[in-house]
Amino acid sequence: MNNIITYNNIKYEPINFNTGSCGRFYTYLNKENKLLYKYARITQIKSEMTDNDKFNRYKNIIERAEEKEIVGKYLINGHIVKDNCGDYIIRYVNGHRFDHLYRINDVNLLNKIKEQLDIFVEDLKLADRKKLLYGDWGIQNIIYDVDNNKIYNIDTEGLYTYPRLPRWCKIDKIIEDIYHALYANHLMKTFTSIIWNNGIHNKDKILQMIPNVISSYSFSIKKENLRETIFDIYAMDKRCNHNVVLPKKIDLLKKCNEEHLIVKFLIDNPKFNNRNISSEAVNMKNNIRKQFSNIIHVADNYEESDYIWNKYSPGYMFDVYIKKMNNKTKIISKDKLDGTDVNVISVFNGNFKHSNPLIHYYCYKKSDNNYYFSDALVNDESCFSFYCTRYMIEKYLR
């Protein structure tokens, strides 16, 4: 591929949106005109464009997307560059992709996004009920336009590729992923609970007793690590007599398997006492324990919730910053690095369901400012570990 594409005397330069794979298109941006050129790679779309009927259907979808009933307001018309070609030009949207909402540090902006998101979700539900919803509505394709306070699906060609919703992107999954993406941001206050292994067989009934569940993930605690982990999870619990209560809990949990369930949920307008304990969270926990015994832990406040979720949830997302110093040296950090020559990749705290296969990577410290990645466990001195696609990280491997 050339570094620059010219169309109608307008130059487009390559741009990488860090999606984790090249997808079906290479992307080029004209900053002055705010236009995006999508160049079809050698894929099914490109080969099918030699068929006039398929090309005409594709052209009609790309150039008339905004006419779709209900969902057209969330789409952008493109322009096919020439006959029997999959390339098209579309307006560039200046905004925030939903799979990167956790990076936003402005709570007012997040609240604006939520207002539009709630409307967006209701429209998706309506379109689905009327059997009008198709295409790819995965969060990597959904973007909030900061200039116009609107939400768009920028994967217009997905309407051609998926004439019906793909099995991995049904309406319930779309909505779950959308809200999880918003509440992955630490500024959006949520609560965390853990259903222990001795209560997993009743998890469906227990989840019904937890209000406004956003997401839940299975995670494991090795039995040899139970004591250290349980004491850590309860470290911020001010009402628990740790040395009296926790050893008994640990002995009980050792009798079951190693799988537990961590849950993120909302409490509407919670009230906190002078010890920063939510009465709603306490009452919910007590009601569940009355019915199912001592099979759940519920954080008392936002701070405790954040600590537990960020450390133990497989679905917790964070950034890894990579700065190349020279051909042999890289600075790799979980904290933001100074300077412009920095690559940022989104990674997961654990084994997360994703359209691309995720691999467990480890970060090791060689010296003060020199780290390296490995996809194998070399020793027990790794600074942190995470899950990521091979495509995004292979060039940084040791």
Residue 91: predicted pLDDT: 95
User: Which class is 5-91 in CATH?
Assistant: alpha beta
Q: What is the CATH number of domain 95-181?
A: 1.10.510
Which CATH number applies to 191-312: 1.20.930, 1.20.120, 3.30.920, 3.30.70? 3.30.70
In this model, does residue 18 exceed pLDDT 70?
A: no
In this model, does residue 1 exceed pLDDT 60?
A: no
Question: Could you read off the pLDDT of 83-111 as tens digits, one per residue?
Answer: 999 999 999 999 999 999 999 999 999 99
- pTM for this one? 0.87
Q: Bridge partners of 26?
A: 39
Residue 356: predicted pLDDT: 67
Residue 343: predicted pLDDT: 85
Question: Could you read off the pLDDT of 175-225 as tens digits, one per residue?
Answer: 999 999 999 999 999 999 999 999 999 999 999 999 999 999 999 999 999
What are the CA-CA distances from residue 213 to residues 193, 367, 374 (Å)?
10, 43, 35
Average pLDDT of the chain?
Answer: 91
Question: Could you read off the pLDDT of 34-71 as tens digits, one per residue?
Answer: 999 999 987 788 899 999 999 999 999 999 999 999 99
Question: Could you read off the pLDDT of 318-365 as tens digits, one per residue?
Answer: 999 988 777 777 888 888 887 767 888 889 998 766 666 789 999 988
187-205: burial string, b at 16+ Cβ within 10 Å, e else:
ebbbbbbbbbbbbbebbee
The CA-based dihedral angle spanning residues 112, 115, 116, 120, taken in that order and rounded to the nearest 10 degrees: 160
In this model, does residue 271 exceed pLDDT 90?
A: yes
Q: Are 321 and 333 in contact (CB under 8 A)?
A: yes
Residue 172: predicted pLDDT: 94
d(CA 146, CA 94): 6
The DSSP line for 32-94 is TTTEEEEEE-SSHHHHHTTSHHHHHHHHHHHHTGGGSTTGGGG---EEESSTT---EEEEPP-
Domain map (residue ranges) of the chain: 5-91, 95-181, 191-312, 317-396
Question: Which tops the pLDDT comparison, 329 or 393?
Answer: 393
In this model, does residue 22 exceed pLDDT 70?
A: no
Question: Could you read off the pLDDT of 277-321 as tens digits, one per residue?
Answer: 999 999 999 999 999 999 999 999 999 999 999 999 999 999 999
